[in-house]
Structure 1
């Protein structure tokens, strides 16, 4: 009987170990609504250059950088990132304090090619979403693909936080 108990106990430990999450997967505990229920933050009809000009002017007076999320309402990962950063208290606080956040549309209705060609190298291949960070004066600071910020079927809060903190304006505290 003792051997059976030890065998069952050992078997259960092995099964538990096989089902254990890796550190990256352990961070993927955030729950997203179905894609159809996520907010649609992109506006294909918008004059993106006019909006960016307004944001650059506003950034100059507020001394915030500009966080541009590139993508479209057709992109589930774009919608997830937007939902994620707006529903994680710490990330939303970092964004609100340090950035003006804009969704630059890319879709068949409006590809915003002039803006993309201004900030993204011609032969670059980024999946959506990707991010463009501008200084409070409109200077390009970074272009970042989002794959390195992912965890499982969502985003890793520590990686996103690290990315956001890396590009906060110099005169802001972390």
Structure 2
């Protein structure tokens, strides 16, 4: 699901550049490969087509946290959290707009997408 060798800070800077060019916000999903809820979220998002919606409305980025690679440089940019999966919505200038664990209803998830799909 996640490549623990990826450097999240590099992906983030690339996402910022793309987001600025495309006038979109960044949708980050932070997950861990050993997390059962992360797998369920990934499967659920795909089944309902949310993955496609997210990729069309946002610049999409995955950030891995694992023992092999905690991606501290990226995660230290934002408020600490320890619940996975976790979503972050970041504006194209790099301001954190939303940060919350994935423990909400389908209706709330759609509302989050709609609220932040337009870059401000």
Report the TM-score range of the alignment, normalised by the length of the smaller protein.
Answer: 0.7 to 0.9
TM-score (norm 2): 0.88
RMSD, aligned CA: 1.7
Cα offset, 1:47, TM superposition: 1.4
Specify whether residues 93 and 45 from structure 1 end up closer, same or farther in structure 2 by C-alpha distance, changes over 3 A only: closer
Give matches, 1:1-174, under 5 Å. 40=1, 42-89=2-49, 91-121=50-80, 125-147=81-103, 149=104, 156-170=105-119
Unaligned runs of 5+ in 2: none
SS in 1 for 2:76: helix
Q: Of the two, which has the highest radius of gyration?
A: 1
More helix per residue: 1 or 2?
1
- The alignment of Structure 1 onto Structure 2 pairs a total of residues equal to 120
Between 1 and 2, higher relative CO (CA 8 Å, sep ≥ 6) is seen in: 2
Unaligned runs of 5+ in 1: 1-39, 150-155
Contact 1:119 1:132 in 2 (8 A): no
Shift >6 Å, 4+ stretches: none
Cα offset, 1:170, TM superposition: 4.6
What whole-Å deviation, never above 9, does each CA across 1:109-137 have from its counterpart, x for those lacking one? 0011221121114xxx4311111111122
TM-score (norm 1): 0.63
